[in-house]
Structure 1
Amino acid sequence: MSRRSGILEFAVLGLLRESPMHGYELRKRLNTSLGVFRAFSYGSLYPCLKTLVQQGWLIEEPAPPQEDPRAATLAGRRAKIVYRLTAEGKEHFEELLSQTGPDAWEDEHFGVRFAFFGQTSRDVRMRVLEGRRSRLEERLAKMRASLARTRERLDDYTLELQRHGMESVEREVRWLNELIESERAGRDQRADAPDERQSEDTGGGPRHPGTTPPDPSDDTT
């Protein structure tokens, strides 16, 4: 499975964990809620859905009679099928949520992982955030070293583009620092009040101003 198809699988399972949907509604959510999927089409989505059904992670059901007929008109006959997450699919998605390896830190995958932080445990959120920060700090160091070597050979516009790329990475590192500190503060508060209900361990991390991830497309590297 390619990295991009793996991201789509993850996002589809995550959205269907929230509620059953038909293909038209899924594509709409992928395009609007998860902006990194704007380029995906029905040609990408339906093979993914078919694979997930074959693996037993989704089931297909007829749409209820009260289903909005406008969706069926826009999406064709396929809109009459509703996709529902199975118990095995939920278990598989939870396994994916627990993964914190390098793939979770990459530009496109991180944005999708972050979109589902509300369903992710605090410890996993911390590992993903810290891994992403480490990856960006490495990238920033390389960008600075490259700029120092080539500064004299660059024209003004290329130099400005390089600076813009660095500023984009620096901005995301600052944003990650704020998120990590917010997560740590939430953990400290929980430790100070052990008798309080710990419902946020499995979702809904601490809300923090400005928690929309910076657009990876700003990065020129």
Structure 2
Amino acid sequence: MLELSILGFLYERPLHGYELKERIHGLSGHVRPVSDGALYPAITRLVRNGLVDSRTEPGASAAPRRTLSLTPEGRRELLDRLRAPKDAEITDGQRFFTLLAFLGHLPDPADQAAVLRRRQAFLDVPASFFYEDGAPVGAEREPDPFRRGMLRIARATGTAEKAWLAEALEELDRRAGQPS
């Protein structure tokens, strides 16, 4: 998800490494903080693969700064990743949020809707954190108050997300000229 975040933020505009790190931290730092030891090797890989351009510019005070920007190949790579996200980017909530942060970069509402439909299909499958005899345990049957709290929070979050998905898909279908 780090590479997707780098590509997504650089799609919007060129950034210095520090600015990029701050944006990534704002997106997911409270859940998965990004270290220099992860960020800068990822940037180096993207530069080496021709997806990101790095140029050195004079700094505001003294030290030169690297400005990062997407290459045309990087723009294509981002759009390809957004059109066809990995399953884990659909099923993992934090990864899906990262994907959502950049999904608006896809120019075709039908492509955006296809990604949201994958998430909707995932959420429509009954699931739980806890199982008994192979069946999901609901909050009503969970005796532990803390587990019960987890299940109630997850249910409320899932209900809100499903409602938002339905609204977003209706809007995207309308923009794409397709029936909902």
Q: TM-score range by the shorter chain?
A: 0.7 to 0.9
1:118 aligned residue: 104
Q: CA, structure 1 residues 36+116, in 2 after alignment: closer, same or farther (shift >3 Å)?
A: farther
Residue 98 (str. 1) matches residue 99 (str. 2): no
> Which runs of structure 1 show a deviation greater than 6 angstroms over 4 or more consecutive aligned residues?
none
Alignment-mate amino acid for residue 130 of structure 1: R
Q: CA, structure 1 residues 187+110, in 2 after alignment: closer, same or farther (shift >3 Å)?
A: closer
Residue 11 (str. 1) matches residue 5 (str. 2): yes
Q: CA, structure 1 residues 55+37, in 2 after alignment: closer, same or farther (shift >3 Å)?
A: farther
Aligned-residue offset at 1:139? 5.4
Residue 86 (str. 1) matches residue 71 (str. 2): yes
Structure with the higher helix share, 1 or 2: 1
Q: Secondary structure at the match of 2:54?
A: strand
RMSD of aligned Cα (Å):
2.9
Aligned-residue offset at 1:11? 0.7
Q: CA, structure 1 residues 38+184, in 2 after alignment: closer, same or farther (shift >3 Å)?
A: closer
Q: TM-score, normalised by structure 2?
A: 0.78
Structure 1 portions without partners, runs of 5+: 1-6, 193-221
Q: Secondary structure at the match of 1:33?
A: helix
Q: Secondary structure at the match of 1:140?
A: coil
More relative contact order, 1 or 2 (CA 8 Å, 6+ apart): 1
Aligned-residue offset at 1:23? 0.9
Alignment-mate amino acid for residue 107 of structure 1: G
Q: CA, structure 1 residues 110+163, in 2 after alignment: closer, same or farther (shift >3 Å)?
A: same
Is the Cα–Cα contact under 8 Å of residues 109 and 175 in structure 2 kept in the other structure? no
Residue 133 (str. 1) matches residue 120 (str. 2): yes
Structure 2 portions without partners, runs of 5+: none
Structure with the higher strand share, 1 or 2: 2
Q: TM-score, normalised by structure 1?
A: 0.65
Larger deviation, residues 85-94 vs 180-189 = 180-189
